[in-house]
């Protein structure tokens, strides 16, 4: 017999809480991945994702990996050793794409390396002028380490104009923040199952433009497991398939989650993310907490990164919150010892933010005074 884990309220930027309908979908009997039943689930997932990517006709392909694998796959499929890439590195995940590319022998020019600020179009334009052979640019839409949301639309207008592939990490944003792959002129966009898409980890999705497919035709890096051409071929069969054995239940969960998202309506889902973010920021400010990077041009609607009060370790805050049944995320990189993060993406509602902030306020009072405080419910 296994112990059932204590159910914590996951106020983290992924994985996120699974709604009951998604849990139920994941509890169905196994179906074989080369059957019409699986193909139907696969097609409904891809069709459900199209409006979230804003990709009407082009390819949205599954990759059986987490988000990082989708990012690595994009490098392996589209570039060659010695190609040049400009990487926006204003956070841990911007940097992740830069170092993935370097590990494949791509020459990376890092720009916008200040975590306290959003991406800067002028700096990107300058880098593309300085490095005219640049083939591609990478940028995170929401960088989960800073809580910032980059103006990817503005960046993509530059990549489009310069004939450079625009590659967007939408892992912490798609499904919570609007994105328009076609209209904004993206060439690659990546997301993953476990964040705003409210399913278990295990599947990444990559949208690709025709320009990206031209780069695929000339790229010479080894693709092996990541081969997007192979994924496109098997998805194009009369009975669409995936490469390799699919994590069937993640797809079943995603199909249910996407039904929920579209029943609520994308506009309402985005408005709900804005509202939970506003509430989280208003309530935490009222407790005297400061945003980790208040100077960011835009804070993401999907999470809030906060500075721990002077003299209080973020780990102590998180441990006490866990004791109260709520999991918060730690800070990342150089900010691990001074910050923590509250995720409010996917199925998170105002009531969850409210409960989190009530408990957080009590925890802070307790830590500030060293005396346990009574929680008003």
Ligand X SMILES: Cc1ncc(COP(=O)(O)O)c(C=O)c1O
Shortest CB 92 distance to ligand X, Å: 8
Shortest CB 34 distance to ligand X, Å: 26
Residue 87 parent element (H or E) = strand 84-88
Decide whether 48 or 91 has the Cβ nearer to ligand X: 91
* C-alpha gyration radius of the chain: 21
Cβ partners under 8 Å of residue 297, min gap 6:
117, 118, 148, 151
Decide whether 111 or 305 has the Cβ nearer to ligand X: 305
Please tell me whether residue 335 binds ligand X under the rule CB under 6 A.
Answer: no
> Contacts with ligand X in 155-194 (CB under 6 A)?
169, 171-172, 192
Which residue from 10, 12, 14, 64 is in contact with ligand X, where contact means CB under 6 A? 14
Looking at beta carbons, which residue is closest to ligand X? 67
Shortest CB 116 distance to ligand X, Å: 17
Q: Are 163 and 136 in contact (CB under 8 A)?
A: no
Shortest CB 342 distance to ligand X, Å: 14
> Contacts with ligand X in 63-122 (CB under 6 A)?
66-68, 93, 96
**Can you tell me the distance from the alpha carbon of 274 to that of 281, in angstroms, rounded to the nearest whole number?**
11
Please tell me whether residue 140 binds ligand X under the rule CB under 6 A.
Answer: yes
Q: Are 223 and 235 in contact (CB under 8 A)?
A: no
**Can you tell me the distance from the alpha carbon of 223 to that of 206, in angstroms, rounded to the nearest whole number?**
15
Decide whether 149 or 284 has the Cβ nearer to ligand X: 149
Decide whether 142 or 243 has the Cβ nearer to ligand X: 142
Shortest CB 185 distance to ligand X, Å: 21
First to last CA, the chain: 36
> Contacts with ligand X in 205-264 (CB under 6 A)?
none
Nearest to 12 by CA among 284, 266, 356: 356
Decide whether 144 or 299 has the Cβ nearer to ligand X: 144
Residues belonging to the chain: 377
Decide whether 112 or 363 has the Cβ nearer to ligand X: 112
Q: Are 12 and 305 in contact (CB under 8 A)?
A: no
Q: Rounded to 5 degrees, what are φ and ψ at 190?
A: -125, 140
**Can you tell me the distance from the alpha carbon of 324 to that of 377, in angstroms, rounded to the nearest whole number?**
13
Give residues in contact with ligand X (CB under 6 A).
13-14, 66-68, 93, 96, 140, 143-144, 169, 171-172, 192
């Amino acid at each position: 017999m296994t112990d059932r884990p204590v159910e914590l309220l996951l106020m983290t930027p992924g994985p996120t809480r699974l709604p009951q309908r998604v849990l139920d979908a994941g509890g169905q009997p196994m179906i074989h991945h080369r059957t019409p039943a699986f193909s139907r689930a696969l097609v409904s997932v891809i069709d459900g994702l199209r409006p979230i990517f804003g990709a009407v006709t082009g390819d949205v392909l599954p990759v059986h990996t987490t988000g990082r694998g989708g990012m690595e796959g994009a490098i392996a499929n589209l570039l060659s050793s010695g190609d040049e890439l400009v990487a926006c590195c204003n956070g841990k995940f911007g940097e992740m794409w830069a170092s993935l590319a370097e590990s494949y022998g791509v020459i990376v020019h890092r720009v916008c390396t200040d975590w306290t600020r959003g991406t800067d179009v002028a700096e990107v334009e300058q880098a593309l002028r300085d490095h005219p052979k640049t083939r591609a640019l990478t940028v995170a839409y929401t960088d989960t380490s800073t809580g910032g949301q980059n103006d990817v639309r503005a960046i993509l207008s530059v990549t489009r104009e310069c004939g450079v592939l625009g590659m967007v990490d939408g892992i912490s944003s798609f499904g919570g923040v609007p994105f328009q792959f076609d209209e904004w002129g993206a060439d690659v966009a990546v997301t993953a199952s476990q964040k705003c898409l409210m399913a278990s980890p295990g599947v990444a999705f990559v949208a690709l433009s025709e320009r990206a497919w031209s780069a695929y035709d000339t790229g010479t890096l080894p693709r092996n497991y990541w081969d997007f051409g192979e994924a496109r071929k098997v998805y194009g069969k009369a009975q669409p398939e995936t490469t390799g054995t699919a994590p069937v239940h993640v797809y079943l969960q995603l199909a249910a989650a996407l039904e929920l998202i579209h029943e609520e309506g994308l506009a309402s889902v985005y408005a709900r993310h804005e509202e939970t973010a506003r509430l989280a920021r208003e309530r935490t400010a009222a407790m005297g907490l400061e945003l980790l990077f208040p100077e960011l041009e835009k804070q993401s609607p999907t999470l809030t990164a906060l500075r721990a009060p002077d003299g209080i370790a973020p780990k102590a805050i998180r441990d006490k919150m866990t004791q109260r049944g709520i999991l918060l995320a730690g800070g990342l990189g150089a900010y691990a010892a001074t910050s923590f993060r509250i995720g409010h993406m996917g199925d998170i509602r105002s009531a969850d933010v409210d409960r989190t902030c009530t408990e957080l306020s009590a925890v802070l009072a307790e830590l500030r005074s060293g005396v346990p405080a009574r929680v008003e419910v």
